[in-house]
């Protein structure tokens, strides 16, 4: 078992709101929550802020506001003064002959700010709305025209202006096109797109696991287009069954590479934006066993910078590719004994002579500068702490702004450090707590600041940087704050718990109103536990917070731990000691934390211990009940992976290696291996249209449980995907079922 140095400061604190925000973690309200309020009427939804776009250097921004006569205005605000100007009235977004303005899903400006690209009439592709219709508004002329009128409606993807703003490139049915705005003339840039030849976008696995959707890039001079092409021939289809569309079932094929099977081959090419032959980059290595994870122009129009990962994803080779010849030369390599992260925060400095890079090479996530010619690395953010994410790089001011939390892994704050290297300076006020995020203007003078904490709804405001002076508040969610103040609730707190071997886990607990430590309470442990996310975060909405309050009102304590292997800012060793043993080390940590909690708090009823989780958390719940049947008595597993061999190549192989080299890990990390040990009450929940974690996982687990004579409950949601949000009343039905299941098994009044 790997050993981790405990985090520097020990925290056992009652939850508090951000500075100037009331603490709502423990109030004397009298009202009980209902499932209808939470999942039908949505009474406790926090207000957000419509999408903003910084203009020019960043001293002004635009946002969407409802127009008086209907539709949406695009409004410009001066950051310093707040002066308001309706830049694009809804009437300007009303097509000729139409009675209503276009509903704006997203929008972007040309570089000169004279043209507006509007995304509307959208459709979901896997997780996100990435196809639909695009319209261009010429602000000076007041003309509005739709792009791709000769194509099928709702099928354009990833449209974006050329650098001069006179053309728009987009993807249509796996081919790339360029359209002249003034004339409507369309040039087809690629002509071999098909179901298995994918130009300018990606297959399911690349999108889901590498975060890639938009697969083409204009060159800075606008003369060239660089793009990915995937060859999905040989990737097997997984067939989902649609039983809801008519009297006969239909199959829904998804190109989905399961662990150890054939991947799509990827390559990158460059073609003239006026059309012509593609020059393919001569990247070494088998394209089916390497991933081209990132591609951008290398601060000019003559070369690309590429990131290539091998199938094991333990090295990131960064290389230059020549536009004219396709020749490739190595630049630098980042590597890790476990897995390596894709370089997300790369930005060119000093006219393209250096690039920023985030690496864990010294055991912590830090920002570096890498020289273009010498490949020398310079550490920008030294210290024993993690840079969670880069918020902005201010080249003019000489600073990198980033999110970090050196002393408390459950919180998030803004820091900055000199690009020349040096200690961090905290920008978020020192008396603030909770979770803070920032959308920083190009000139680093302003930021849209969003912050919340556990039980305290978000506040959104404009702040001046670097002094963090609040200029104006956009959303304070005061109505929701007042409504929450009426809710009956007990104490909540964050804590750390020692599970032995020098390891401490962060956790939180939500207790019932009128909590009495002399009594015994059932405890429901909410769990995720995989490398994709943390759940112990001091922010609004953590862990289905309002449902936790409802359960607490009914007498159930809810608790959560982040085990090792979750992406908490506690150093590389914390995150990566789980390599090769997903589902094994994490479930052992969770079980150890439950036992430590039982020793620490006598009010925990050892005979009424439950677990629930979704996706990886569903798998973790199954591992809890199957591997530790003496400890856990009740479980709810949603959208779970039962057998790790049934998940996709990119995710599972990143953390587990290959099945031929780690057969024991794949076997012992899969819940189905230990299903024969089930003793408690188990509820399985899965959507039959889940393209992510296939319903197959539920079928094979059910078969195994039946084989061993194990009784359980099962709910299959037809036509629902991984998030169980499709069709009518799904969420309301889901949480009523879960609530009833837990009450029947945990609130037996004989205890």
Over residues 552-562, mean pLDDT = 97
Domains of the chain, earliest start first: 51-188 (2.130.10.10), 194-335 (no CATH), 487-746 (3.40.50.1820)
- Residue 12: the pLDDT is 35
Give the residue among 574, 743, 704, 670 at the shortest CA–CA distance from 259.
670
Among left, alpha and beta (phi > 0; psi -120 to 50; other), residue 571 is left
Phi, then psi, of 664 in degrees rounded to 5:
-65, -40
Per residue in 484-503, pLDDT (tens digit) is 999 999 999 999 999 999 99
pTM tops 0.85, yes or no: yes
Q: Where are the alpha helices (DSSP H) in 607-729?
A: 616-627, 649-656, 663-669, 696-707
Using alpha carbons, list the distances in angstroms from residue 194 to 265, 426, 637: 14, 51, 38
- Res 18 pLDDT > 80: no
Whether pLDDT at 385 is above 50: yes
pLDDT at residue 544, rounded to an integer: 82
Give the N- to C-terminal CA distance of the chain in Å, as an integer.
37
Relative to beta strand 52-55, strand 60-66 is antiparallel
pLDDT in tens, 425-448: 999 999 999 999 999 999 999 999
Rounded to the nearest 10 degrees, how much is the dihedral formed by the CA atoms of 547, 551, 557, 559?
-20
Determine what percent of the chain is predicted with pLDDT higher than 70: 96
Residue whose entry in the numeric block shows the structure tokens 């570096």: 368
DSSP string covering 48-114: ----EEEETTTTEEEEEEE-TTSSEEEEEEETTT--EEEEE-GGGGS-TT-SSPPP-SEEEE-TTSS
With helix as H, strand as E and coil as C, how does 503-527 read? EEEEEEEECCCCCCCCCCEEEEEEC
Per-residue pLDDT tens digits for 78-114: 999 999 999 999 999 999 999 999 999 999 999 998 9
pLDDT at 392 over 70: yes
Summarised one tens digit per residue, pLDDT across range 42-58 is: 899 999 988 789 998 99
What is the model's pLDDT at position 344? Answer: 87
What pLDDT, on a 0 to 100 scale, did the predictor assign at position 5? 38
Query: What is each CA distance from 536 to 528, 561, 575, 615, in whole angstroms?
Result: 10, 6, 15, 17
Average pLDDT over residues 119-135: 95
Structure tokens that stand for 620 in this block: 């973790």
- Residue 212 burial (C-beta neighbours within 10 Å; 0-12, 13-18, 19+): buried
pLDDT-derived band at 27 (thresholds 50, 70, 90) equals low
Q: Do residues 423 and 382 touch, judged by C-beta distance below 8 A?
A: yes
Quote the CA–CA distance of 527 and 548 in Å, as a whole number. Answer: 13
Res 16 pLDDT > 80: no
Tell me what the pLDDT averaged over the chain comes to. 94
- What's the rounded mean pLDDT across residues 598-625? 98
């Amino acid at each position: 078992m790997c050993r981790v140095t405990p985090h520097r400061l020990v925290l056992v604190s009652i939850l508090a709101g951000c500075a100037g925000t009331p603490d709502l973690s423990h109030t004397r309200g009298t009202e009980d929550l209902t499932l209808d309020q939470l999942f039908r009427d949505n009474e406790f939804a926090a207000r957000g802020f419509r999408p903003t776009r910084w203009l020019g250097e960043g001293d002004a921004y635009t946002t969407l506001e409802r127009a008086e006569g209907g539709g949406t205005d695009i409004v410009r605000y001066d950051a310093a003064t707040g002066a308001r100007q309706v830049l694009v009235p809804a009437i300007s977004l009303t097509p000729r002959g139409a009675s209503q303005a276009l509903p704006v899903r997203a929008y972007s400006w040309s570089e000169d700010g004279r043209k507006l690209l509007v995304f509307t009439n959208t459709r979901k592709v896997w997780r996100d709305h990435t196809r639909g219709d695009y319209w261009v508004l010429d602000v000076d002329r007041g003309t509005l025209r739709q792009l791709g009128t000769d194509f099928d409606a709702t099928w354009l993807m990833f449209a974006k202006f050329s650098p001069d703003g006179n053309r728009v490139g987009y993807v249509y049915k796996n081919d790339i096109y360029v359209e002249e705005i003034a004339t409507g003339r369309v040039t087809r840039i690629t002509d071999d797109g098909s179901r298995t030849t994918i130009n300018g976008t990606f297959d399911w696995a690349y999108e889901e696991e590498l975060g890639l959707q938009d697969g083409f890039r204009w060159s800075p001079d606008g003369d060239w287009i660089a793009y990915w092409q995937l060859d999905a021939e040989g990737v097997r289809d997984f067939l989902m069954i649609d039983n809801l569309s008519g009297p006969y079932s239909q199959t829904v094929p998804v190109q989905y590479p399961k662990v150890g099977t054939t991947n799509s081959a990827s390559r990158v090419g460059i073609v003239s934006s006026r059309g012509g032959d593609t020059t393919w980059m001569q990247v070494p290595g088998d394209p089916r066993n390497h991933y081209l994870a990132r591609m951008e122009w290398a601060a000019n129009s003559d070369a690309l910078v590429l990131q290539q990962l091998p199938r094991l994803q333990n090295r990131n080779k960064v290389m230059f590719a020549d536009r004219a010849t396709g020749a490739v030369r190595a630049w630098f390599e980042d590597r890790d004994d476990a897995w390596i992260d894709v370089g997300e925060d790369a930005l060119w400095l000093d006219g393209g002579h250096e690039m920023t890079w985030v690496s864990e090479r010294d055991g912590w996530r830090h920002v570096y500068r890498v020289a273009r010619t010498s490949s020398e690395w310079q550490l920008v953010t030294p210290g024993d702490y993690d840079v969670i994410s880069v918020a902005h790089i201010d080249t003019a001011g000489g600073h990198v702004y980033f999110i970090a939390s050196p002393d408390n892994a459950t919180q998030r704050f803004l820091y900055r450090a000199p690009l020349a290297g040096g200690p961090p300076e905290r920008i978020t006020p020192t008396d603030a707590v909770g979770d803070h995020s920032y959308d920083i203007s190009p000139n680093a003078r302003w930021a849209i600041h969003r912050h919340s904490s556990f039980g305290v709804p978000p506040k959104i405001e404009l702040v001046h940087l670097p002094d963090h002076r609040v200029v104006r508040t956009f959303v304070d969610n005061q109505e929701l704050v007042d409504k929450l103040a009426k809710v009956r609730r007990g104490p909540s707190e964050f804590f750390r718990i020692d599970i032995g071997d020098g390891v401490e886990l962060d956790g939180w607990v939500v207790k019932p109103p009128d909590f009495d430590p002399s009594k015994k309470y059932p405890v429901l442990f909410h769990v995720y536990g995989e490398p994709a996310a943390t759940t112990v975060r001091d922010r609004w909405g953590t862990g289905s917070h309002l449902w936790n309050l409802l359960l607490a009102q009914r007498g159930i304590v809810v608790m959560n731990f982040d085990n090792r292997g979750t992406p908490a800012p506690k150093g590389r060793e914390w995150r990566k000691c789980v390599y090769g043993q997903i589902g094994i080390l994490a479930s052992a940590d969770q079980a150890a934390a439950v036992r430590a909690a039982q020793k620490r708090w006598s009010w925990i009823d050892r005979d009424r211990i439950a677990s629930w989780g979704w996706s990886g958390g569903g798998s973790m719940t199954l591992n809890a009940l199957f591997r530790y049947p003496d400890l856990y008595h009740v479980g709810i597993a949603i959208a779970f992976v039962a057998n790790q061999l049934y998940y996709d190549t990119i995710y599972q192989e990143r953390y587990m290696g290959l099945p031929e080299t780690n057969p024991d890990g794949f076997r012992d990390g899969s819940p189905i291996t230990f299903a024969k040990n089930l003793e408690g009450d188990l509820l399985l929940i899965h959507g039959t249209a889940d393209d992510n974690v296939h319903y197959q996982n539920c079928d094979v687990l059910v078969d195994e449980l039946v084989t061993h004579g194990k009784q359980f409950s099962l709910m299959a949601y037809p036509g629902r995907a991984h998030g169980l949000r499709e069709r009518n009343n799904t969420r309301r039905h889901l949480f009523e079922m879960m609530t009833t299941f837990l009450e029947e098994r945990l609130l037996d009044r004989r205890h």
